[in-house]
Amino acid sequence: MKTKILLLLTAAFALFSSCIKDKTEETVKNYTEEEMAILSKTLNLPVTVDDYALQIPTYLGGGTVFADNKQATLGRVLFFDKKLSANESVSCASCHKPEAAFSDDVALSEGFEGKLTERNTLALGAFPSFNAYYGFAGGSRLFWDERAANVMEQSEQTLKNPIEMGMDLSTLYDKLMQYDYYQVLFEKAFPYEFGYQRPEDKILIALQAFVNSIGIFRSDFDKQWEREGDFKRPFSNFTDQENMGKDLFMANCASCHNLDRATATLVNVANNGLDMEYSDLGVGGLSNNQSEKGLFKVPMLRNVALTAPYMHDGRFQTLEEVVEHYSTGIKKYPTLHENLKSANGQPKNLNLSQEEKDALVAFLKTLTDKEGVMQKRYSDPFKS
């Protein structure tokens, strides 16, 4: 309870202080001609800094999620820059590809020396607001086993990770500052020198500002919901099949994978019955706590049709395979979540008909908002 209140206060303060900041920033929203001359040699960036604030639609709770636009702009450049890995071979975007809703199209991704990651790359374009979900809603943490509290922690781990980017963080800032465009971007994003324990914190803060700015809520499902005002009614512009899939989803899946709030989840982590034995123990692998073995993050599902393969190890290639899992494949495991158990404690396989399976898949496809992830302000800014 205490932490909840604290979180709310921090959120309120963040909103308040970013309002003030926005006012003073109003006057310095543009890059000067000199700055543009430097930036435009290497980067495609607009003279007026992109606006990264998200207006959350009222059906998802409403409100504005503010962003520091200059930090997010720097974060965008960093996100697409291969100089962030030890041998300059991979960027964040190598694994988090915009067209795949910022996930990867392989089960395990290749790190800077070609070695494979231990888990499937999580999609960053699966949330109505990444920031609202992780930033101030409380409860949820990052990575499949929730080992990071925020994007700064996550990015520090990823940059240093010997498989992923292999970077010595203490030298990265100096390395980047050898480039004139980074001198401009860092100066703009961090006009004051106080408040940073280490220079590299600025890199992490900027990456966080960018990732936190990602928000997806213009899928067909969202558009219909906004029109109809209530997602529990059949949608008039959905096919019968999609409406049938929507009902099946609301009855069997939404208790864990909620779609109806920008800022909170119902179940953070769960065991969804993939295996009888787990080589990767997820949350329990960290805590060594018996009751947490086999628990993994419940992924958000906006854009799920773009993020194959699926699950923490990328075992399923298609949505059909995922649906088959919930229909007939749920395994008995000590931590199997209650929502997937019958009254007698046994796995609750849904035993769906072919028509129902097709309907569920058709519904999952209505969650796609490809334009959302392909927006210019989220795209690769480097001139090739």
Site residues (vs ligand HEC, CB under 6 A):
79, 84, 90, 92, 94-96, 109, 111, 117, 119, 121-124, 142-144, 151, 154-155, 158-159, 164-165, 207, 211, 252-253, 255-257, 267, 270, 272, 274, 296, 298-299, 304, 307, 310-312, 322-323, 326, 337, 339-340, 360
The nearest distance, CB 300 to ligand HEC, in angstroms, is 8
The nearest distance, CB 308 to ligand HEC, in angstroms, is 8
The nearest distance, CB 121 to ligand HEC, in angstroms, is 4
Backbone angles phi, psi at 77, to 5 degrees: -65, -45
**Residue nearer to ligand HEC on the CB measure, 47 or 99:** 99
Please report, for residues 59, 129, 133, 305, the alpha-carbon distance to residue 213 in angstroms, rounded to integers and kept in the order given: 19, 7, 11, 22
Please report, for residues 146, 152, 357, the alpha-carbon distance to residue 266 in angstroms, rounded to integers and kept in the order given: 15, 24, 24
CB of 296 within 8 A of CB of 144? yes
CB of 201 within 8 A of CB of 150? no
The nearest distance, CB 228 to ligand HEC, in angstroms, is 22
Side chain identity at 129, as an amino acid letter?
S
CB of 349 within 8 A of CB of 330? yes
The nearest distance, CB 242 to ligand HEC, in angstroms, is 14
- Which token pair is 350? 């849904």
**Residue nearer to ligand HEC on the CB measure, 94 or 131:** 94
The nearest distance, CB 355 to ligand HEC, in angstroms, is 15
**Dist. CA 99–CA 46, nearest whole Å:** 22
**Residue nearer to ligand HEC on the CB measure, 221 or 310:** 310
**Residue nearer to ligand HEC on the CB measure, 216 or 304:** 304
CB of 361 within 8 A of CB of 383? no
